[in-house]
Amino acid sequence: MYAVVRTGGKQYRVAAGDVVEVEKLEGAVGDSITLEDVLLVSNGDAVQVGTPRVDGASVTAKITGQYRGNKIMVFKYRPKKRIRVRKGHRQYLTRLQIQSVNA
């Protein structure tokens, strides 16, 4: 059984036991959270597609880490204008361990 959930503007395919990294969610390490924004639930041949969400479906997950991702460099350059801007960005991330998919 798996589900497609939406969090942080992105969609993730998750099943029980999976570990996913999503954009920062509130909560401490060890807390259990429920993701209500379930777009699709599949149980073998039975597939439920929401419009836009599946009613009554949820995914239970445990927060196993709060950290920052790798730094990405952003470099803007305008030729012949002496304009060079270099910036870095590190996104805050949350690591989730999926406990169960409830249809």
- pLDDT tens digits, residue range 46-69? 999 989 999 999 999 999 999 999
Distance CA 96, CA 20 (A): 5
Pick the closest to residue 23 from 98, 95, 93 (CA basis): 93
Q: What is the DSSP letter of 27?
A: S
pLDDT digits (tens, 9 = 90+) for 8-19: 999 999 999 999
Number of domains in the chain: 1
- Integer angstrom CA distances of residue 29 from 4, 10, 24, 53, 93: 23, 22, 12, 28, 12
Contact residues for 24 (Cβ-Cβ < 8 A; gap 6+): 8, 66, 91, 92, 93, 94
Q: Which domain covers residue 90, as residue numbers?
A: 2-102
Q: What's residue 103's pLDDT?
A: 83
